[in-house]
Amino acid sequence: MSLIVQKYGGTSVADLERINVVAKRISSTFEQGNDLVVILSAMAGVTDGLISKALQVTTKPDKRELDVLLATGEQITSALMAITLQTMNYSAISLLGFQANVLTNTDHGNARIVEIDTSRISFHLDKRKIVIIAGFQGWDPDKNITTLGRGGSDTSAVAIAAALNADVCEIYTDVDGIYTADPNVCKKARKLDKISYDEILEMASLGAKVLQIRSVEIAKKYNVPVHVRSSFSEEEGTMVVNEYPEMESIIVSGVTSNKDEARITLKQVPDQPGIAEKIFNPITDAGIVVDMIIQNTWVGDTTDITFTVPMGDYEKALEIETEVAKNIMAEEVRGDSNISKVSVTGVGMKNHSGVASLMFKTLAAENINIIMISTSEIRISCVIEEKYTELAVRALHTAFGLDKQ
Ligand code: ADP
Ligand code: ASP
Ligand code: MG
């Protein structure tokens, strides 16, 4: 007998029919004698719909109230799942984030889990109940409802699995595992049987939304075995594991893309000590995370500085920098949201050269201009024009020998 945590994403519980299918999978896992905790997302499209409703009322909804609204999506699926299981004669109970004691900080819309007191979950498990928990939500020390950021049910699931010391955390989604590239973009992508925590961490932070990045951070920290698989088939999926020696022989294991960034350029900035601080301090103070930065040196005494920020912070960052530009006497500020970042990742890159040059050659052969470049030990990223994203992903996938035969 094992303790299993299963998480079902939005498409897996998109309507009553899907909830019924998932209920059967849950009951069969339970029938095998396992203890079972199930984390649910909202039905596909529901969170987006709730956000757009709030935005119809005001362009800047209060973050606390937005969390109260968004948390309802997961409440609906959790109750419907418990009701469905009960009609099948299983003893099931739904718990909202606060009832499951998922304590978070107060950062509404992007809260971090601080602690999970599992006593109420364990109480019901001891009574052989199937415990259904609404994902994506918790409460803060003042008992306000919080949400964990888009895709946050993955994080709820892995954190609850870690807190319960579960034997496995199964993430059920609409693809049957983690692929060498998004299978919905690159038809030749291959499913990986295994991937290391570090590789999927890197891929998640570069735009592979199959797992929310924080869920991978928690999985790695607490060594939670994570199995990403489909709720639409019985196929084994992908196991997320610790790095093992043979992995280093694979130079590139994945290609990712992210359209969710924008770039800001300050033109003709005086080239003096302290200028970078003046440009980036107000951005950091506003809680905006800068990704890539480049500085072009010019003949004379000015320089151009370009950096990227998440799309959600673009307008704010542009506003801040327009003010900064006036103060530091920069010539002008330009923004561009039609960019995307394509990246190749692989732990084997640590010991191999030539990855960057093959990447640049491949993009050049497709006539794709590289706007910015950044690297880490196991990744190379290029910012390109957004319209070339899919073309770039496919070309890189082929060039690095990842296509399935
Ligand atoms: P869920 O609603 O189940 O949480 P998501 O839409 O958040 O599902 O994540 C699954 C999606 O992630 C897939 O449909 C796929 O398009 C996308 N994806 C991006 N990169 C990858 C990858 N490397 N492997 C698998 N899926 C990926
Ligand atoms: N429903 C939330 C979202 O759409 C959380 C999740 O699905 O993981 O982002
Ligand atoms: Mg998701």
Model confidence at 244: pLDDT above 80: no
**Does any domain span residue 202?**
no
- CA 209 – ligand 1 centroid, Å: 5
User: Which CATH number covers residue 275?
Assistant: 3.30.2130.10
**Ligand 2: does its nearest atom lie under 6 Å from the Cβ of 73?**
yes
Q: Are residues 255 and 398 in the same domain?
A: yes
Q: Work out the average pLDDT over 171-175.
A: 97
pLDDT tier at 351, thresholds 50, 70, 90: confident
Q: Average pLDDT, whole number, for the chain?
A: 95
**Does any domain span residue 221?**
no
Which atom in ligand 1 lies closest to the alpha carbon of residue 8?
Answer: 3
**Does any domain span residue 228?**
no
**Does any domain span residue 199?**
no
Q: Are residues 104 and 248 in the same domain?
A: no
> By alpha-carbon position, which residue is closest to atom 21 of ligand 1?
182
- CA 271 – ligand 3 centroid, Å: 44
Q: Are residues 398 and 249 in the same domain?
A: yes
Q: Are residues 260 and 398 in the same domain?
A: yes
Percent of the chain with pLDDT over 70: 99
Check residue 328 and give its pLDDT. 92
Check residue 248 and give its pLDDT. 67
Distance CA 280, CA 307 (A): 10
Model confidence at 114: pLDDT above 80: yes
Model confidence at 301: pLDDT above 90: no
Model confidence at 297: pLDDT above 80: no
Max distance between CA atoms of the chain, in angstroms, equals: 79
Q: Are residues 248 and 387 in the same domain?
A: yes
Q: Are residues 151 and 269 in the same domain?
A: no
- CA 6 – ligand 1 centroid, Å: 16
**Ligand 2: does its nearest atom lie under 6 Å from the Cβ of 14?**
no
| Residue at which a domain ends, from 174, 195, 224 | 174
Q: Are residues 250 and 142 in the same domain?
A: no
**Does any domain span residue 42?**
yes
Q: Are residues 255 and 114 in the same domain?
A: no
The range of the structural domain enclosing residue 297 comes to: 244-405
Which atom in ligand 1 lies closest to the alpha carbon of residue 177?
Answer: 25
- CA 124 – ligand 1 centroid, Å: 32
Q: Are residues 251 and 388 in the same domain?
A: yes
Q: Work out the average pLDDT over 98-124.
A: 97
Reference 264, options 302, 291, 287, 286; nearest CA is 291
For the chain, what is the domain count?
A: 2
Which pLDDT tens digit goes with each residue over 249-275? 778 889 999 999 999 999 999 888 898
Contact present, 41 and 50 (Cβ < 8 Å): no
Identify the residue whose tokens are 């020696």. Answer: 245
**Does any domain span residue 92?**
yes
> By alpha-carbon position, which residue is closest to atom 5 of ligand 2?
151
What is the b/e burial string over 11-36, where b = at least 16 CB atoms within 10 angstroms of the residue's CB?
Answer: bbbbeeebbeebbebbbebbeeebbb
Check residue 352 and give its pLDDT. 80
| Residue at which a domain ends, from 148, 174, 200 | 174
Check residue 247 and give its pLDDT. 66
| Residue at which a domain ends, from 139, 174, 209 | 174
> By alpha-carbon position, which residue is closest to atom 22 of ligand 1?
182
Task: Write the single-letter amino acid at 2.
Answer: S
Check residue 22 and give its pLDDT. 98
User: Which CATH number covers residue 63?
Assistant: 3.40.1160.10
**Does any domain span residue 205?**
no
Contact present, 247 and 188 (Cβ < 8 Å): no
Using CB distances shorter than 6 Å, the residues near ligand 1 are: 9-12, 41, 151, 173-175, 178-179, 181-184, 208-210, 254
- CA 242 – ligand 3 centroid, Å: 22
Which pLDDT tens digit goes with each residue over 303-343? 999 999 999 899 999 999 999 999 999 999 999 999 999 99
∠249-244-205 over CA atoms, to 5°? Answer: 85
Which pLDDT tens digit goes with each residue over 78-108? 999 999 999 999 999 999 999 999 999 999 9
**Ligand 2: does its nearest atom lie under 6 Å from the Cβ of 80?**
no
Q: Work out the average pLDDT over 25-50.
A: 98
Instruction: Identify which ligand lies nearest to the alpha carbon of 74.
Output: 2
Q: Are residues 168 and 255 in the same domain?
A: no
**Does any domain span residue 397?**
yes
Instruction: Identify which ligand lies nearest to the alpha carbon of 45.
Output: 2
Model confidence at 298: pLDDT above 80: no
Check residue 245 and give its pLDDT. 67
**Ligand 2: does its nearest atom lie under 6 Å from the Cβ of 136?**
yes
Check residue 105 and give its pLDDT. 98
SS3 readout for the chain:
CCEEEEEECHHHHCCHHHHHHHHHHHHHHHHCCCEEEEEECCCCCHHHHHHHHHHHHCCCCCHHHHHHHHHHHHHHHHHHHHHHHHHCCCCEEEECCCCCCEEECCCCCCCCEEEECCHHHHHHHHCCCEEEEECCEEECCCCCEEECCCCCHHHHHHHHHHHHCCCEEEEEECCCCCECCCCCCCCCCCECCEEEHHHHHHHHHCCCCCCCHHHHHHHHHHCCCEEEEECCCCCCCEEEECCCHHHHHCCCCEEEEECCEEEEEEEEEECCCCHHHHHHHHHHHCCCCCCCEEEEECCCCEEEEEEEEEHHHHHHHHHHHHHHHHHHCCCEEEEECCEEEEEEECHHHHHCCCHHHHHHHHHHHCCCCCCEEEEECCEEEEEEEHHHHHHHHHHHHHHCCCCCC
Percent of the chain with pLDDT over 90: 87
Q: Are residues 102 and 248 in the same domain?
A: no
Contact present, 90 and 130 (Cβ < 8 Å): yes
**Ligand 2: does its nearest atom lie under 6 Å from the Cβ of 42?**
yes
Q: Are residues 158 and 282 in the same domain?
A: no
Check residue 240 and give its pLDDT. 95
